[in-house]
């Protein structure tokens, strides 16, 4: 799991599924795709609401770099 402060679980699954789909469509292997998807879900729960909690790609990439070196 990624170390984030969870405040709202709304849209966590949407963020996870979207990031997983994009990662697989880009040809990433399943392990890397799931790591990216988990990071997206983690970032989503660190914000309130649905649309506002969707992380930008750069935020997901930074979290993966910071916590999965």
Q: How far is CA 2 from CA 25, 26, 27, 45, in A?
A: 23, 23, 23, 11
The catalytic site residues sit at 14
First to last CA, the chain: 14
């Amino acid at each position: 799991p990624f170390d984030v402060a969870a405040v709202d679980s709304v849209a966590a699954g949407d963020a996870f599924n979207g990031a997983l789909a994009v990662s697989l469509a880009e040809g990433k292997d399943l392990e890397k795709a799931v790591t990216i998807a988990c990071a997206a879900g983690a970032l989503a729960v660190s914000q309130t609401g649905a649309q506002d909690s969707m992380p930008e790609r750069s935020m997901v990439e930074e979290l993966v770099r910071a916590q999965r070196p």
